[in-house]
Structure 1
Amino acid sequence: MSDLQTPIRILLVDDHTLFRESLRRVLEAEAPFRVVAEASTLEEATAYCTGGGDFDLGLVDFQLSSSDPAKNGLAVLRAIRQTNASAAVILLTAGTGKAELREAVQTYAASIFLKSEPTSDLFLAIERTLEGRRWISSGANRLLLEESSAPSASAPGEAAFTARELMVLRWITEGLSNKEIADKLTISESSVKALLQKLFEKTSVRTRSQLVRYVFECGLTLP
């Protein structure tokens, strides 16, 4: 994270005090980060957002202690988007269902990070999310990319894509840049751009984020 010079203001939402304190120490030991607010419930997070609290990145736990199961991390993401549409957000989870993950990604433009993954991956997830890219932890990615039981009839099936195109789709869902994809395939960035253009034509979309949504909605199984 050494490339980030401007302090990154973080809203940290998690109902476990020990986890919040530990994560705060880890984050603030890294120069650009400053936790400006903490919340343990939907109500606390909403009060901060509606009260004019400003932040650049929200780290939001999915499972919050409440008698109402609807008062979870998705509800926090909704509150954030209503008051701070431009904030980067990452949903932290120990594991949740496919429907909830899809909603976080598609409706609230959130990255997904599994709590079981290493801290080094969290910093990478933060960096990519702040760049406007999407990070989806490998475990969550596998769940999201499981073949849909009812794929769209109008969508091309997997046979419509070459093996290389499917690999490129996988790396796009993982948030890799054109240069990173080019390095993996040992080709030029211009060749990657050509592959992307072909994918745009096949899927009738125009942006990388729309490609990610297409993959999720069609339930494509990627290598």
Structure 2
Amino acid sequence: MAFCKFVQTYKMQRLLLIILTSIFLITSCRKSTPEGILPEQTMVELMSEVHLVDGYLSTLSIDSSRKIINSLYGHIFDKYQLDSAGFQKNVDYYLGNPTLSKKLYGTINQSMTQRDAEFRRADSTIQAIRNDSIQRIQYYTKLASEQRSLILEAKLDTVPLSFDKYHREFIARVGINVRADNGRTNNSKPNAKNVQSGSVSATPIRNPSAGPDKKKEPAEHAAEATTDN
């Protein structure tokens, strides 16, 4: 019985020793994050905005960049509740670990690439809308210029418009075939061939300006009577 108790006590001691050793190893291998260090995802967002500001400042002159650099970085620090010392502390912490810094900047690179693609997509849409607007403006400007030239630069017709001229133009537009001989219409009856072919002579409208037909003179009546006899 004493031996059994000894074995049980020994097993318990070994198990307890293993558990304590494991806890000690885990605790010693794990580095605690210092106070004031931002999480990894927050640091990615912070450094992405910092790189955007750096890129914008590089496009300006030295005098112009000096005027706005403090306000731009101050806005970023206020957003993440940091000051210049806190920002430098975070940079030193992440860049001090090569594995962590490589992972951090890999994520930053992906974020910047995604932002650049979104910017290009939005810029192409804006450019397409702008080009369409310019084409519309050019089209309506040209149309207005043509209308203005038709109204203000219209050439006057040197040929006076008479009734006969208007009548001929009207008949030509309508498509009626009129045969005239010295101003008089041929009143012969259409034959069957002309009716079938569609070339039927039409009697033109009498010119109202000519006035009513004049009655024949008595001498003309006498000449006709003599001829009949």
* TM-score normalized with structure 1 length: 0.18
Higher normalized contact order (CA 8 Å, seq sep 6+, divided by chain length): 1
Q: Which has the larger radius of gyration?
A: 2
Higher helix share: 2
What TM-score comes out, normalization by structure 2 length?
A: 0.18
